[in-house]
Amino acid sequence: MIIQNVKGGYDFLPKQQKIRNYINGVLKETFENYGYKPIETPILCYFDMLAGKYDENNDILNEIYKLTDQGNRKLGLRYDLTVPFAKFIALNKNEIKLPFKRYEINKVFRDGPVKVGRDREFTQCDVDVVGLEDQMIEVELLSLYVKAFTKLNIEIIIKFNSRNLMKGLIKEVNVKEELIPSTITILDKLDKYTKEELTNELMTLDLNKKQIKSLLNYFTLSLEELNNKFKETSNEYIIKGLEELNNLNKYIKYLKLDEYCVFTSSLARGQDYYTGNVFEVYEKNGKLKGAIGGGGRYDKMITEFIDDGTVYPAVGISFGLTSIYELLKEDESLNKNSNIDIYIIPLNTKYESLELASKLRDYNINIDIEMEDKKIKKSLDYCNKEEIPYVIILGEDEINNKVFKLKDMNKKIEYEIKMDGLEKVQRIIKNLTFEK
């Protein structure tokens, strides 16, 4: 037997997991601050439900982990949190009230090629709202991005655009309907490719040079320039797209989010299910190349999934937890080896040490105890290695006198603590006012 992880799955050591837990904690706190409610959906799903909205040639079908149960039913592991969320709304629509705001942080699985930033098992973090059509909810999500990343001490830029506008501009140069999705995919690379590279790719779709020149000209215009150029247009997609963007931009400016948000006409988000405005978040100073968050409006997905005659407008965003971890993993303030506050070293006082640990834990202090009868020096070396800030050496004299000393391992000072005055330990640990 070879002991190894499945390719694309990883163990996380305590030091790494602490940072991951910190990120999740900050995000959960922010989501709930905005009124979003936690849900959890099953990892196991019926395969037909996962695959039902895709044609048989779609790549996603090849990436679903497929299995059967003992009843020979076809099942699959969820590959994202969106389809399970649509299922959640369908099953619980009589129990929840729209608009419904949720968040979920959970594992997903994709049986695809493994490369940097693409694993087979990873944690996804989604925030979604069902039941609201106005851009007011969209700007709230942008505000949530700013709040969350500010708490994480990550400077960001948020790009925003409308899929309707993109489709309208492409239609303006008479691109065939069936070529529009491919054209959008190529234009999404506008900030990554040279003009020559883009031209060559667009020519593979049989677009002529005149069409390409007009397209590339349109996609370099600012929102203000697009409004002026197409103020008399009859192109319904451009009209709709500019309306969505202008409404969103008014909210952005009113909330003074324009220092974070920038209109980017070529932003597509790559998914055909987006129906309106889309967003992508980037680290402002270029510490990481790819997006660290993204989302947009997808009004048709849940509506068509449930198919009960009711319209379920939806908009959502996601956070790239792996990318966020990469940005924070070198942060010294998050890189302590241990989350233990105090290490108790018993000297023939195992029972009493367990009792003292229990009492101190009641003050919300993290306690660990030496249980291997090591010499004091070895125990203190362990504390230094693990960066445990405080130590209590508890011997028989301390028990008889009902007084012990709390040693600060960093400042090399000691505090005298009475057994009936343990609240003083809490004040010291929490850096509150205390008497030495």
Q: How far is the C-alpha of 275 from the C-alpha of 161, rounded, in Å?
A: 11
Q: Please, which residues bridge with residue 37 across strands? A: 102
Q: How far is the C-alpha of 64 from the C-alpha of 152, rounded, in Å?
A: 33
- H/E run at residue 160: strand 156-162
pLDDT at 54: 63
Contact 320, 326 (CB under 8 A): no
CATH top class, domain 338-429: alpha beta
pLDDT at 433: 42
Q: Please name which of 170, 79, 290, 165 lies closest in space to residue 280, comparing C-alpha atoms.
A: 290
Tens-digit pLDDT profile for the chain (436 aa)? 899 999 999 999 988 999 999 999 999 999 999 999 999 999 999 999 988 766 565 677 889 999 999 999 999 999 999 999 999 999 999 999 999 999 999 999 999 888 777 889 999 999 999 999 999 999 999 999 999 999 999 999 999 999 999 999 999 999 999 999 899 989 998 888 888 999 999 999 988 999 999 999 999 999 999 999 999 999 999 999 999 999 999 999 999 999 999 999 999 987 678 999 999 999 999 899 889 999 999 999 999 989 999 999 999 999 999 999 999 998 877 877 788 999 999 999 999 999 999 999 999 999 999 999 999 999 999 999 999 999 999 999 999 999 999 999 999 999 999 999 999 999 999 875 444 3
DSSP-assigned letter for residue 134: S
Contact 286, 262 (CB under 8 A): no
- Here the tokens at position 281 are 């978040």
CATH superfamily of the 14-328 domain: Bira Bifunctional Protein; Domain 2 (3.30.930.10)
Q: Where are the domains of the chain?
A: 14-328, 338-429
- Whole-model pTM: value is 0.89
Contact 419, 402 (CB under 8 A): yes
pLDDT at 189: 87
pLDDT at 435: 43
